[in-house]
């Protein structure tokens, strides 16, 4: 890695500004470590795309996703965290301080907390990339408004698919959920809400093999996985919610990844490299929630504080229970 002229040394560098990253920043900031958070392309992470979060404690009436992450950020900044609108492009974890190259420069970090989260998985069918932004979407909150009184399809059968499908009924005339199995994977309450919703229909045992359109989407080509039959289903929009993959490519070869690309940590959020911790969905294929990601972020920061106390020449004052 070439050393750029604008290089900054920090005690704690947090990569990612979702619930995990901002919670890590809060804890590190309260230990007077002045953490820097690299926000990446999505300030606030996935939850900022969500309309309402109803399962984060402390908000009995629910809270907007954007509002929640704004509060996370404000709280971390109050204690000295700094959020930078920059993205890590390359890391060198072979020695401390760790070197993290970004679009705008370079950081030398005594400890690193990786909270780069996950991004939606694409269908990888013809028409998908060509029509993205012209009817194909991965975010109902961002794009639902464009489908007022239109017919849309949602691809998937898990929590995200149903949550987003129900959200789309605010705008769309009809929402058809296309699922490759004959049963949903989503939680029971969500299933009930979706199945009973008058605007929502289901197409079972079917996969999308092509998205059809020119300037805009006009149909999806479906294949019934049981009968093999193909058919075209007219639609104005295609919302794809079939899972996520972890944003961990830049750590490949330097940190241990599992077979799906998730960072491997022990239960104290340690990676194999001392001083490098991972938190949230980048290291969590199981829970994938705001509260669990935030909890992992806090835990990673507490471990980073201990690490600095043990390794830095001048021990930092522990503020974990301040
Ligand atoms: C539509 C939807 C609805 C949801 N609803 C709920 C809900 O109601 N309740 C709930 O508990 N959970 C919900 N979730 C899940 C929740 O949003 C996630 O579990 C949580 O956001 C994960 O937090 P995270 O910090 O690990 O990662 P993410 O939120 O994925 O954030 C990752 C961060 O890393 C940054 N980043 C990535 N790569 C880089 C890089 N190279 N350099 C710098 N930064 C980088 C990104 O910009 C982003 O800021 C929902 C998710 C979705 C998609």
Any atom of ligand 1 within 6 Å of the Cβ of 275: no
CB atoms within 10 A of CB 112: 29
Mind listing the pLDDT tens digit for each residue in 162-177?
A: 999 999 999 999 999 9
Q: Is pTM, for the whole model, over 0.75? A: yes
Q: Is the CB–ligand 1 distance for residue 88 below 6 Å?
A: yes
- Give residue 316's pLDDT: 42
Binding site membership of 55 for ligand 1 (Cβ less than 6 Å): yes
Q: What is the pLDDT of residue 315?
A: 43
pLDDT at 319: 40
Residue 2 pLDDT:
56
Q: Give the model confidence (pLDDT) of 39-73 as tens digits.
A: 999 999 988 876 678 889 999 999 998 999 999 99
Taking the centre of ligand 1 as the mean of its atom positions, its distance from the CA of residue 45, in whole angstroms, is 4
Two structure tokens written together for 31? 């230990």
Q: What is the CA radius of gyration of the chain?
A: 22
- By most ligand atoms within 8 Å of CB, the mutation choice from 19, 115, 116, 239 for ligand 1 is 116
Q: Could you tell me if the CB of 289 is within 6 A of ligand 1? A: yes
User: Does the beta carbon of 49 sit less than 6 angstroms from any atom of ligand 1?
Assistant: yes
Give the per-residue pLDDT at 155. 98
Centroid of ligand 1 to alpha carbon of 254 (angstroms): 23
Residues taking part in catalysis = 139, 142-143
> What does 94-163 look like in DSSP terms, one character per residue?
SSSSEEEEESS-EEEEEEEEE---EEEPP---TTTTTTBTTTEES-HHHHGGGGTT-EEEEE--SHHHHH
**In the chain, which stretches have pLDDT less than 70?**
1-5, 50-51, 142, 312-322
């Amino acid at each position: 890695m070439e050393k750029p002229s604008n290089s900054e040394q920090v005690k704690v560098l947090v990569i990612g500004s979702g619930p995990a990253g901002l919670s890590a920043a809060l804890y590190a900031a309260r230990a007077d470590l002045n953490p820097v958070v690299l926000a990446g392309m999505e300030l606030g992470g996935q939850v900022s795309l969500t309309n309402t979060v109803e399962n984060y404690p402390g908000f009995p009436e629910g809270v907007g996703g954007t509002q929640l992450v704004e509060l996370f950020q404000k709280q971390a900044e109050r204690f000295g965290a700094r959020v930078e609108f920059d993205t890590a492009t390359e890391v060198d974890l072979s020695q401390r301080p760790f070197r993290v190259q970004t679009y705008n420069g370079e950081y030398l970090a005594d400890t690193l907390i990786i909270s780069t989260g996950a991004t939606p998985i694409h269908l990888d069918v013809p028409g998908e990339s060509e029509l993205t932004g012209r009817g194909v979407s991965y975010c109902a909150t961002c794009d639902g408004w464009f489908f007022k009184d239109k017919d849309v399809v949602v691809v998937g059968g898990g929590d995200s698919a149903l949550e987003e499908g129900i959200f789309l009924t605010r705008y769309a005339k009809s929402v058809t959920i296309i699922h490759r199995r004959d049963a949903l994977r989503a939680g029971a309450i969500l299933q009930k809400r979706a199945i009973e919703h008058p605007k929502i229909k289901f197409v079972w045992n079917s996969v999308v093999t092509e998205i059809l359109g020119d300037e805009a989407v006009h149909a999806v080509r479906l294949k019934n996985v049981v009968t093999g039959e193909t058919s075209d289903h007219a639609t104005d929009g295609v919302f794809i919610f079939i899972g996520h993959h972890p944003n961990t490519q830049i750590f490949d070869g330097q940190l241990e990844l599992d077979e799906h690309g998730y960072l491997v940590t022990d239960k104290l959020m340690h990676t194999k490299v001392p001083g490098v911790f991972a938190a949230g969905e980048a290291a969590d294929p199981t829970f994938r929630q705001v509260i669990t990601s935030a909890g992992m972020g806090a835990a990673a920061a507490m471990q980073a504080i201990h690490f600095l106390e043990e390794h830095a020449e001048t021990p930092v004052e522990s503020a974990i229970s301040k």
